Structure 1
Amino acid sequence: MKFTAFVEYHQEPERIAEARPAHRAYLQDLLQQGRLVLAGPFADGSGALFVYDVPNEDEATKLAANDPFAKASLFRRIVMKPWTPVFANPLHLTPAL
């Protein structure tokens, strides 16, 4: 089942930049495990969207809680919701690393 995590960051750019390598390594690991569908920050830097592919909401919540950004108290708020994808265009999901 898919779950979206709409995350708002605390506005601490220096701490975010410091934790970013560990955060991205964590997400890359989840991606390789097939537990992350997509992830990326909002263009205004206010937060990010994550889509997890896990059996239940508890597992999605644990993944978010184990994110290095969460462990560094950089997540101000997380809204977790089950999500059912209906349409997707893979041509529009090119990572902007």
Structure 2
Amino acid sequence: MIIVKVLLSVTLLIVSLLGFFCTFSREKDDEYFSEMVNDGSGISTAFGLVGLLILKLSKFIFPKKWYYNVFRVISFIFAIFILAIKILIWFVDLKIM
């Protein structure tokens, strides 16, 4: 069971680090996430799809000067949520029957 927890922790840590990277890096445009989707390397593709979807939705819903800041806030909340799940994994007993 400890191996499952370690593998889940490492995977979720990578996902949360990608979320923090998008939050605190310079402005990213649609091309950045499109390249991640076209890369086809698994977790990068999944995160690229999520990032592209969130960026397109925030562009559609919010004004031009606010959409990227909204995207950063959503990325930060997503990264914190994934990090909390990573921490909670160690407090939950994963007995599979």
**TM-score for both structures, normalised by structure 2:** 0.30
Please give the TM-score of this superposition, normalised by the length of structure 1.
0.30
Task: Say which structure is richer in strand.
Answer: 1
**Greater share of helix:** 2
